[in-house]
A and B are shown apart, each in its own frame.
Chain A
């Protein structure tokens, strides 16, 4: 954060470097001495879990790129080559493919935690907006990565998603042709997707740098939603407290990751992607990866092509203005009894949308998707602004220390 560094170099070499580039002091202030609220729970370990997953995806991805061939005639076979011939190739590919799912699982929990505890509210608006930018970059990266194995779902998923741009009036077809580099998804498309799939993770890393920077300027939110007032009473140093907690969080998360990667590596994928792409045969039912299903349901719920595209992008764009849509002065849902209910209704709405996105768009599923799409937007555009005006909130503790003491007193009372 601000102020002079408390870092004291321990040897002559460190002192020499510190006078020329204060990187050791910067790291010490950011990840050792940095004051973290002492009431953080395990939902706050997902930032570290996500950082770990980004590094894991980059490491496995760089290795896969050494064996993969981005050409429509060779791509599918090069992936099979990785699976069968390359030393440990099967493991690295399964880690990368399931790693994408784990990355999204973690980011959804991370976003939900932000929504529950009001982490997007002043002064954390820029921190939140950078997070939404990272989320969009992740979606673009994941989409292009899924195209690379050049299976049937790769090809037809790419066709459906790039066709969304053709809904733009006047210039839509020209933009789609430009994205494809041809008149359909073909070799030029595959080549550029590979190039961009390699580039975007490093752009994500850069925005993560800004995200962490913004976090360290305004300080972490916490379950009580009140800021650190007295560093000695309200906070603990990042190391060892947050470091150890994050390490445990990552370890437990890795168990889930390993279970998917080693025991059910194809559970989250679609079996049609083990059929090579065929531009003349459409799979009977095109579905995206699970982490895009709620947005796919919104796309299909709107009975107009352009309208569907607008609502789908709008469902993420609305997150950018959330800090100004929420009018409540209380951050944490702990002290907002009504918001707590609406938060869980919203989570339920998104999960149901995800399930509907996996179903064929017929009969009752279409109606249900329309109702839930309406509710998704009502949550942000109507409920959030009004709730802040009408909700009677519980008293907010004066400080983090008070919140911790009140909780301990409550637990002691319950025990006796």
Chain B
């Protein structure tokens, strides 16, 4: 009974022409989606590091008092950072290595700004333990958890860790002061 009415108002009932109402539905839906997204953003972003955490994201360290051969551990972003004042012997050990044979090949020169100072994040790249200094077969660090050994450049030499100890962003502010982060 409605056939007549349909054929008169909708010439092509399989593909009806979009109406002004369809447009309004779409526009309303789009605005609602943008609104929901805009509201979700603060609730997700609040979980990212806050201003007080970001304020601590760099640390200045006076390295003048660190004697040759000593490793000092500082806390940066909640993690330990090793600052190692390397001896001549340790520097030679780090430089005189066939880089191509390393598990994570990296020359010593790419890991230090000044040869006598090595700065690395003290977190084993395996499962996050903290390696012990001046230990292990390569005289660098040794991780007691699963036996990863690092050399005097903080490079992985044996054990399960996949990568070298990470070198953080740092800069020499003066010859005896560095800024980590």
To the question of whether A and B form a pair in one complex, the answer is yes
Chain B contacts for A188, CB-based, 8 A:
47, 49-50, 53
Chain A contacts for B78, CB-based, 8 A:
182-186, 279
Asked if B144 and A177 sit within 8 Å, CB to CB, the answer is no
Which of the candidate stretches A48-56, A258-266, A280-288 sits at the interface with the other chain? Answer: A280-288
Asked if A284 and B146 sit within 8 Å, CB to CB, the answer is no
State whether the Cβ of B75 lies closer than 8 Å to any Cβ in chain A. Answer: yes
Chain A contacts for B130, CB-based, 8 A:
280-282
Chain A contacts for B147, CB-based, 8 A:
362
Among A160, A179, A184, A185, which residue has the most Cβ atoms of chain B within 10 A?
Answer: A184
C-alpha spacing A192/B160, complex, angstroms: 33
25 contacts between A and B (CB under 8 A): A160-B127, A160-B128, A163-B127, A178-B44, A178-B47, A182-B49, A182-B77, A182-B78, A183-B53, A184-B78, A184-B79, A185-B78, A188-B49, A188-B53, A279-B79, A280-B73, A280-B130, A282-B130, A282-B145, A284-B144, A284-B145, A285-B145, A286-B145, A305-B162, A362-B146
| Given known A-B contacts A182-B77, A183-B77, A186-B78, A177 and B48 have beta carbons under 8 A apart | yes
User: Nearest residue in A to B129 (C-beta to C-beta)?
Assistant: A282
Encoded as 1 (CB less than 8 Å from any A CB) or 0, chain B from 29 to 68 comes to 0000000000000001001111001000100000000000
C-alpha spacing A284/B132, complex, angstroms: 11
State whether the Cβ of A361 lies closer than 8 Å to any Cβ in chain B. Answer: yes
C-alpha spacing A282/B53, complex, angstroms: 23
Q: Which of B50, B53, B75, B160 contacts A279 (CB 8 A)?
A: B75
Taking the closest CB of chain A, its distance from the CB of B160, in whole angstroms, is: 8
Chain B contacts for A192, CB-based, 8 A:
47
Among B50, B77, B129, which residue has the most Cβ atoms of chain A within 10 A?
Answer: B129
Given contacts A159-B128, A280-B75, A280-B80, 16 further A-B contacts (CB under 8 A): A156-B128, A160-B128, A181-B47, A181-B53, A182-B53, A182-B77, A183-B79, A184-B78, A186-B53, A188-B47, A188-B49, A279-B78, A279-B79, A282-B129, A282-B130, A362-B146
C-alpha spacing A179/B48, complex, angstroms: 7
Which residues 27-50 of A have a CB within 8 angstroms of B? none
Top-4 shortest CB links A-B: A184-B78, A183-B77, A282-B129, A182-B53
Among A160, A177, A183, which residue has the most Cβ atoms of chain B within 10 A?
Answer: A183
- B interface, by DSSP: helix, strand, loop or mixed? loop
User: Nearest residue in A to B126 (C-beta to C-beta)?
Assistant: A305
Chain B contacts for A177, CB-based, 8 A:
48-49
Interface residues of chain A, those whose CB is within 8 Å of chain B, are 156, 159-160, 163, 177-186, 188, 192, 279-282, 284-286, 305, 360-362
Q: Which of B48, B57, B162 contacts A178 (CB 8 A)?
A: B48
Taking the closest CB of chain B, its distance from the CB of A180, in whole angstroms, is: 8
- A interface, by DSSP: helix, strand, loop or mixed? loop
User: Nearest residue in B to A305 (C-beta to C-beta)?
Assistant: B162
| Given known A-B contacts A163-B128, A286-B127, A181 and B49 have beta carbons under 8 A apart | yes
Chain A contacts for B75, CB-based, 8 A:
279-280
C-alpha spacing A285/B53, complex, angstroms: 30
Chain A contacts for B73, CB-based, 8 A:
280
C-alpha spacing A284/B127, complex, angstroms: 12
C-alpha spacing A159/B77, complex, angstroms: 14
Encoded as 1 (CB less than 8 Å from any A CB) or 0, chain B from 71 to 89 comes to 0010101111000000000
Chain A contacts for B53, CB-based, 8 A:
181-183, 186, 188
Chain B contacts for A178, CB-based, 8 A:
44, 47-48
Taking the closest CB of chain A, its distance from the CB of B66, in whole angstroms, is: 17
Chain B contacts for A183, CB-based, 8 A:
49, 53, 57, 77-79
Chain A contacts for B57, CB-based, 8 A:
183
Asked if B80 and A179 sit within 8 Å, CB to CB, the answer is no
Chain A contacts for B49, CB-based, 8 A:
177, 180-183, 188
User: Nearest residue in A to B46 (C-beta to C-beta)?
Assistant: A181
Asked if A181 and B144 sit within 8 Å, CB to CB, the answer is no
Chain A contacts for B162, CB-based, 8 A:
305
Taking the closest CB of chain A, its distance from the CB of B60, in whole angstroms, is: 17
User: Nearest residue in A to B80 (C-beta to C-beta)?
Assistant: A280
Taking the closest CB of chain B, its distance from the CB of A179, in whole angstroms, is: 7
C-alpha spacing A184/B78, complex, angstroms: 6
Which residues 148-164 of B have a CB within 8 angstroms of A? 160, 162
Taking the closest CB of chain A, its distance from the CB of B99, in whole angstroms, is: 24
C-alpha spacing A280/B78, complex, angstroms: 9
C-alpha spacing A286/B160, complex, angstroms: 16
